[in-house]
Structure 1
C-alpha cells in the first residue's frame, strides 16, 4: 500500500468520480483507475462500486477513508517537520480570519511577510462556522476568530483579545450623538446585521432571546466591509464588535445599555494533535505582538 495510492483513493472517494479525481490530481484517468485496482487487489476487497460514470465507496472503502486521511496528514507533517529544521525560509502558510478580526490580521501579515519573504501566505476570509469547518478538515494552519458558543471543543484555542459589542452608525445618523442606547431603542432602529454563521450574529441572537427583543433588521449580509460602507448613507445602524470597526473614524460606536457585559472573546484556533509549522507559530507571534501593541496604545490613549 503506497501513500500515492491512498491519496488517489481519498480523492476518488470524496469526489465519487474517477474523471474528476484524476483532473484534480493532474493525472490521467487510466492511471488513477489502475492504481485503485492495484490497491483493491492488494487488500483483496472492492473499495468502490462502479455505477456508470459514478463510483460509490463500498463499506470497506468508507472504513479505509479515515485511515487514508491520517496517513496522508502524518506524511505531510513529517515533510513539514523536516522543512522546519531548515528554518522558516520557504513554504506555504494558510491562515483563516473572520471579517470582524481582519483589523488585527493585516498589520500582522505585513510584519510577517517582511520578516519571512520566502513564505507564501494564503489568507481565507469567511464566517466563524465556515472557517472552523475548514480548520477541522485541515484546510487551514491556524484561524483567528471569535468563538461561537455552540462550538465543540475538538480544537486547540488560545484567547487573545476581548472585544465589546457596540451599536455602530455613521456620524450623520440621527442617533449618532447618543452617549449610549437602550435595548428598547435599539430594537426600534433599522439595522443591517451580519448573516447567520457569524459569531457576532449568534451573540446578538442570544441577547434577543434572553431579553425578548425583536430587532428591526432590514438587511443581512455576509461581508462586514459592505455593511460599514452602507452605514455611510446615514440611515442604517448595525451591531458589531469594536474590533470590526477599528480604523473607521467616520463611524460612531455607541455603548449598548445592558445588565450584562456585551463582549466577545477572540481566539487563535489550531488543529488539535497535528504538527504545527514553524511558519504558523511565527505568524502567531507576529499577531500577538500586534494585539499587545494595540492594547498598550489604547491604554495610553
Structure 2
C-alpha cells in the first residue's frame, strides 16, 4: 500500500470518476485502475461498485476514505516538519469566488509566487456552497468567498473586509430606484441572476421578495462577465459587487440604480476547517491574503 495509491483512491472518491481522476493527477486511466485494484486486492474487499460507466463508493470504501484523509494529512505534516520560512514548498489547494479571483486575488498570487517559486497552488473557482462542500471533503484547504457572514461552528473564519454591492442597468433603462413604490415598473423588467446555488442569487431573490417585487422575466448566468455584458446590452437589471462593474461604469456602459435601503455589502472571508492541519505554506498564503485583501 503506497501513498500514491491512497491519493488516487481519495481523488476517485471525491470526483466519482476514474477518467476525471486520471486527468486531475496527470495519470493514464490504466494507472488509476491499477492503483484501485491493488488497494482492493490488499484489503480484500471492493472499494467501489462499478455500475456501467458510473461508480459508487462501497461502505468499506467510505470507511477507508476517512482513514485516508487523516493519513494523508499526517503525511503532509511529516513532509513539512522541518520546513523553514525561507524554503517553503509543497502544494496547497484554494477555492475562491469568481469575483475574488478576477478582481482581488491576482496581486496576492503574483507576490506569493515571486517569493515562493517552489510552491504549487491549485486554484478552484465555484459558488460559495460548492466551495464549502469541497472544504469539508478536503478537496480544498482554504476558501476565499464573498458572501454574508459565515456562521459555521466547524469552520475557522477570518472576516477580511466589506465589498459594496450595487444594482445596475443599461444606460437606456428608465428605472431609477429599487423600491416598493415603483415595484410595478420593476416587475416589467428582466432580472438577471447568478446561478441558483450562489449566495448573491439567494440574497437578490430574498431582497426582491421582501419588496413584493415579482419580475415577469428572468435570466440566469454562471459567470459575472456574462451578466455584465447582458446588462450593458440593455437586457435587464442585476445586482453585482461594485468592484466587478467599475470598468463599465467608468466607460459609461452601465449605470447604478439607487435603492431605498442603506448600502448593501458582502464580506470577503477566508475559511478553513477547524480540524484541518494548516501547513507552513498555507499559513503563509493566508497571511499574504489577509494583508493584501484588507487594503481594498
Query: Structure 2 length as normaliser, TM-score?
Result: 0.77
What corresponds to 2:168 in structure 1?
168
**1:182 and 2:179 equivalent?**
yes
Aligned residue runs from structure 1 range 47-58, under 5 A: 47-48=46-47
What corresponds to 1:256 in structure 2?
259
| CA deviation map 1:23-76 (0-9, x unaligned) | 966537566534422233xxxxx3558779888765444433322332223223
What corresponds to 1:244 in structure 2?
244
- Judge which range, 47-56 or 268-277, deviates more: 47-56
What corresponds to 2:281 in structure 1?
279
SS in 2 for 1:82: coil
Aligned residue runs from structure 1 range 28-39, under 5 A: 29=33, 32-39=36-43
Query: 5+ residue gaps in structure 2?
Result: none
Partners in 1 of 2:295 and 2:194 — Cα distance? 28
Question: How far 1:285 moved relative to its partner?
Answer: 2.7
- Relative to structure 1, is the Cα distance of residues 114 and 208 closer, same or farther in structure 2, using a 3 angstrom cutoff? same
| CA deviation map 1:142-197 (0-9, x unaligned) | 22112467974422211112223311134x33348x4x543425444322111111
What corresponds to 1:289 in structure 2?
291
What corresponds to 1:77 in structure 2?
77
- Relative to structure 1, is the Cα distance of residues 119 and 9 closer, same or farther in structure 2, using a 3 angstrom cutoff? closer
- Relative to structure 1, is the Cα distance of residues 83 and 246 closer, same or farther in structure 2, using a 3 angstrom cutoff? farther
Question: How far 1:199 moved relative to its partner?
Answer: 1.0
Partners in 1 of 2:112 and 2:164 — Cα distance? 27
Question: How far 1:225 moved relative to its partner?
Answer: 1.1
What corresponds to 1:96 in structure 2?
95
Aligned residue runs from structure 1 range 62-73, under 5 A: 62-73=62-73
SS in 2 for 1:192: strand
What corresponds to 1:120 in structure 2?
120
The answer as to whether partners of 1:112 and 1:286 remain within 8 angstroms in 2 is yes
| CA deviation map 1:229-275 (0-9, x unaligned) | 222223432111224334442343333213x6532222111132222
SS in 2 for 1:238: strand
SS in 1 for 2:104: helix
Partners in 2 of 1:215 and 1:150 — Cα distance? 29
**1:229 and 2:236 equivalent?**
no
The answer as to whether partners of 2:18 and 2:32 remain within 8 angstroms in 1 is no
Select the structure of larger CA radius of gyration.
Answer: 1
Query: Structure 1 length as normaliser, TM-score?
Result: 0.76
The answer as to whether partners of 1:50 and 1:56 remain within 8 angstroms in 2 is yes
- For these two proteins, the number of residue pairs brought into alignment is 284
The answer as to whether partners of 1:147 and 1:199 remain within 8 angstroms in 2 is yes
| CA deviation map 1:208-245 (0-9, x unaligned) | 33333213443100100111122222343211122433
